[in-house]
Amino acid sequence: MTQKHIGLAPSRRAVLKAAGAGLLTAGFAAPVWSQAAPVKLGFQLHRTGIGAAYGRWYERTAQAALKVVNDAGGINGRPVEIVFEDDGTDPKRGAEVVEKLTRQHNCDLIFGPLFSHVVIGSAPRAAELKVPYLVCSEGFHVAGGMLNRWTMQPGITDVRAQVSSMAPWVLANLGKKVAMVFPDYAFGHDHRDFFSAAVEAGGGQVIAQIAVPPTETSFTRYLPQIPNDTEVLYHVMVGPAVLTFVKELGEFYGTGARPEIFGFIDSLEAVDLASPGLAFLEGTHFWEGHCRNQQADASEFETAYRAAVGVDANGASVSDAKDVSTYAHMFSVWETLHIIKAGMEASGYQGAADRQRFVEAVEAMTDMPESLAHVQGKKLFNGKTHQVFGHQFISKVEGGKLIKVHTTSIEDSLYPDAVDYTTQSF
């Protein structure tokens, strides 16, 4: 049997711990939190790999949102901290990161991943570990019913809603015969399927669907597949080679005749519109989830958000004009963190035992009015499909800036529920 010292005399370790804790407490400026253990949020971050440009800005946005939340008193009166863990934009590592954040770091929940293949690879592990997993991925896989009760997308709209709400505008203003170029994986397939369906429904025709592997580095060879009678070229591309893609598109059409071009800003996220070789984009249109260039009618919330994250009126970092943000997507991190706060406070979240109640609290959400928590605009959450709906913006490149020319209504983007997660067990 081992001997134990029982008595009033504290052990040396306990004395040291107490002294250390006292020092730490004395050092804190905000004594409010001195008693409460922090809420620990895990962030699955694409710091490296093909999503690195997004990762850089998602981390900055998360830090800015964290500061706003903590300055306003934290969550349930407790301070909040975020543990960032890199998943290399790799589905296999994504699942490992979910495990690490949950088991090793003891995070209360996990949020933040964007790339659809990583989300699809990681979500099953989150369900096994019974940890809420709030994704910012745009894919239809959440609302489509592919994932699970623990996975939710309350901070960004999905591709199906985006493309089906914009298709009528594209058909009415740009042309009826559409050729599509998209990345050949889950996210691109959502574009292919739902935009094609919306075009058919609107009386247009998709005359070519050109799939490009997301790791491709040279694109000219795909471009001749665009038919001559194309009226609208629809492009969406991801990964480190997006700039090359757009440049080669410019080289290909050059000064010759070209169709109208409608792109997803994904093809140019984190890329300066003033880069050499992009002049041909003048007059073309883009989808934006959030307008990169500050618009004349920007709300006070949006302006405050822009300043908090450190983005200038052109969408670049205030400290480096060449460091262009992923502005159209990163608001999702900000809004998701605010939804986490709202959900935890509605459910009276105390610790890991309340994870299920947190999910139920988020499922109960519906209207999300435009506010500092929802800087991109008003939203409507569907608790059954775990998917949020909101406005989409179409911008035109004018004088090297993206100027908003159309805003879709939330109603335009709604579609029948494909799943009811609330009937699934936890």
Binding site for other proteins (CB under 8 A): 47-49, 52-53, 55-56, 213, 216-218, 220-224, 228, 240-241, 243-244, 248, 251-256, 270, 275-277
The least distance separating other proteins from the CB of residue 226, rounded to whole angstroms, comes to 8
Question: SS3 for 306?
Answer: helix
The least distance separating other proteins from the CB of residue 222, rounded to whole angstroms, comes to 7
Q: Residue 64 is encoded by which pair of tokens?
A: 């800015």
The least distance separating other proteins from the CB of residue 257, rounded to whole angstroms, comes to 10
Nearer to other proteins, 87 or 335 (CB): 87
Q: How far is CA 295 from CA 30, 315, 329, 336, in A?
A: 37, 11, 17, 23
Nearer to other proteins, 255 or 319 (CB): 255
Nearer to other proteins, 76 or 244 (CB): 244
Contact 380, 389 (CB under 8 A): yes
Nearer to other proteins, 220 or 424 (CB): 220
d(CA 171, CA 168): 5
Question: For the CA atoms of the chain, what is the radius of gyration?
Answer: 23
The least distance separating other proteins from the CB of residue 148, rounded to whole angstroms, comes to 30
E strand or H helix that includes residue 389: strand 387-390
d(CA 285, CA 385): 30
Amino acid at 297: D
Q: How many CB atoms neighbour CB 10 within 10 A?
A: 12
The least distance separating other proteins from the CB of residue 255, rounded to whole angstroms, comes to 6
The least distance separating other proteins from the CB of residue 225, rounded to whole angstroms, comes to 8
d(CA 181, CA 159): 15
Nearer to other proteins, 223 or 346 (CB): 223
Contact 161, 414 (CB under 8 A): yes
The least distance separating other proteins from the CB of residue 411, rounded to whole angstroms, comes to 39
Q: How many CB atoms neighbour CB 281 within 10 A?
A: 21
d(CA 327, CA 315): 7
User: Residue 42's closest CA among 5, 117, 78, 96?
Assistant: 96
Amino acid at 38: P
The least distance separating other proteins from the CB of residue 166, rounded to whole angstroms, comes to 28
Nearer to other proteins, 53 or 107 (CB): 53
d(CA 400, CA 53): 21
Q: Residue 341 is encoded by which pair of tokens?
A: 């706060």
Nearer to other proteins, 275 or 299 (CB): 275
Please give the torsion angle defined by the CA atoms of residues 152, 324, 162 and 150, in that order, rounded to the nearest 10 degrees. Answer: -10
The least distance separating other proteins from the CB of residue 223, rounded to whole angstroms, comes to 8
Nearer to other proteins, 27 or 254 (CB): 254
Nearer to other proteins, 90 or 363 (CB): 90
